[in-house]
Amino acid sequence: MTLVLGIETSCDETAAAVVRLDAHGAAILSDVVLSQIEEHAAFGGVVPEIAARAHVEAVDGVVRAALNEAGVTLDEIDAIAATAGPGLIGGLIVGVMTAKAIAAATGKPFLAINHLEGHALTARLTDGLDFPYLLLLVSGGHTQIVVVSGVGRYERWGTTIDDALGEAFDKTAKLLSLPYPGGPSVERAAASGDARRFAFPRPLRGETRLDFSFSGLKTAVRQQANALAPLSEQDVADICASFQTAVTETLAERVGRSLDRFRDAHPDVAAPALVVAGGVAANKAIRATLDALCAARGFRLVAPPLRLCTDNAAMIAWAALERMRAGLVDGETASAAPRPRWPLDSLAEPLIGSGKRGAKA
């Protein structure tokens, strides 16, 4: 039996969790997430300095709560894992230093985990999925299509060249004076809007690459809003509905081609699966589109419970357990310093803009 304490502080959630792996499988013994949403709401987005300070104040209590909830002491823990990147450097430093301090004080090993690896492997914790599978990660910081072939074996097929999809939702909401976080606000407003009223752009449509771009769409939304100002409630609803349709269609086109490409690359996989992760996966229009795409192509859509799709520490502890089980605890994992940029697929070309914008692009 192996018990791992995980710590996640890469963005605006301070989280800690204890996950156990034994002969019967994996179990999440505790999963504590303290969100900072209220502290950032007034600014319409995550403010790095506020986030870092909030992590410092919260992390001890959150770790204690995770241990208490799991009913274990530090003595019983086998390893301490923390997100070491990618993310906001202030928060990463807090999580890594906390984990390293606990490791040093208890004499247990420390593991530096890539946040994206946490998202990538979650479906194995929740659904026991076998490799390989396709992952669509759509959050406030990331928009990626990744083939997950094994622990430490990731191939990025697509990413955003500017804003993340959740970020596009958040910026659209801010522009329309809707409350933060923007995704749920835009979705709510879109429900009573006319999606055909505005023809917003579908960036990179028709290109063979599987990348995304959302900043042009944001500009189009701003220009439309300025042209109509002052906006009626119906104008806001129509803009939201038209925006949501534009991003859903863009996603459908790119994901559809990814599913076909996955089939071609892995003809031997009898029951191919698409895993969706990240906060944007909560969007019902997007979820329905993914459902339809998968159904039409014979893929299984795996959507872990939202709590484990969004940022949490159980996925960090789980990634550590996967690495330990696979014998992949190398020097880098054992000692890595916090790093704001840490691509999951080290062979993928960094794209212009990626890593320079967004909470943790």
Residue 250 binding ligand KG4, by CB under 6 A = no
Q: Which does 166 bind (CB under 5 to 8 A by kind): Zn ion, ligand KG4, none?
A: ligand KG4
For residue 269, which amino acid is it? V
Q: Quick one: tokens of 81?
A: 């894992």
Residue 181 binding ligand KG4, by CB under 6 A = yes
Q: Which does 182 bind (CB under 5 to 8 A by kind): Zn ion, ligand KG4, none?
A: ligand KG4
Residue 238 binding ligand KG4, by CB under 6 A = no
Nearer to ligand KG4 among residue 77 and residue 281 (C-beta): 281
In this chain, which residue has its C-beta nearest to Zn ion?
311
For residue 32, which amino acid is it? V
Nearer to ligand KG4 among residue 213 and residue 324 (C-beta): 213
For the CB of residue 168, give the shortest distance to ligand KG4 in the complex, in Å: 8
Tell me the torsion sign for CA atoms 92, 138, 111, 98.
positive
What span, in angstroms and rounded, lies between the C-alpha atoms of 71 and 116? 28
Q: How far is CA 235 from the centre of its chain?
A: 31
Q: Quick one: tokens of 127?
A: 């659904």
Interface pick for ligand KG4 out of 143, 245, 283, 289 (rule CB under 6 A): 283
Window 307-326: residues binding Zn ion (CB under 5 A): 311
Pairing, β 25-35 against β 13-22: antiparallel
Residue 184 binding ligand KG4, by CB under 6 A = yes
Of 2, 1, 4, which Cα lies nearest the Cα of 16?
4
What span, in angstroms and rounded, lies between the C-alpha atoms of 60 and 97? 12
Q: Return the range that interacts with ligand KG4 (CB under 6 A); candidates 104-112, 139-147, 217-225, 319-327.
A: 139-147
Whether 95 and 46 have beta carbons less than 8 Å apart is answered as no
Of 146, 160, 76, 159, which Cα lies nearest the Cα of 117?
146
Residue 11 binding ligand KG4, by CB under 6 A = yes
Interface pick for ligand KG4 out of 44, 91, 132, 141 (rule CB under 6 A): 141
Residues that bind Zn ion (CB under 5 A): 139, 311
